[in-house]
Amino acid sequence: MNWWVLGPTLVFAILIWILDYIIPAMGTKKFGGTRYGVIGTTIGLIVGLIFLGPFGIIIGPFVGALAGELIHDSKDFSRAVKAAFGSLIGFLTSSMIKFGVTFIYFFIFIFIWYKHFLR
């Protein structure tokens, strides 16, 4: 077993897992969301995941950010939708990062497999 590969990939996987919760909140903030929208994004992500499964990961942060922004300022619906859209963009960004890391891990696996079994 190659611990020089497993150790860094484990640390990197945990980092990506943590960033998966942070990046949608950053997207909300980038698109003009307030602290309420960021908190709503995080709560929506967790609640959506628990109650709606994989579909909740997409819809939960959007609804959470929208609800948080509407709690903060119920009169400015367009700003709330913009901040919620930012959470959706953040989710898509984190998904693309995970997709890229998955390919990197796949190629590392293929390289190690080739090195050990086909030589």
CB atoms within 10 A of CB 51: 10
pLDDT tens string 72-100: 887 888 888 998 898 889 888 988 999 99
Distance CA 29, CA 2 (A): 41
Query: How does pLDDT run across 41-83, given as a tens digit for each residue?
Result: 889 988 998 998 888 888 998 999 999 999 988 788 888 899 8
Give yes or no for residue 1 having a pLDDT over 60.
no
Report d(CA 25, CA 86) in Å as an integer. 8
pLDDT in the model for residue 14: 94
pLDDT digits (tens, 9 = 90+) for 103-113: 999 998 898 88
**What are the domain boundaries of the chain?**
3-117
Buried b (16+ CB within 10 A) or exposed e, 6-45: eeeeeeeeeebeeebeebbbbbbbebebbebbbbbbbbbb
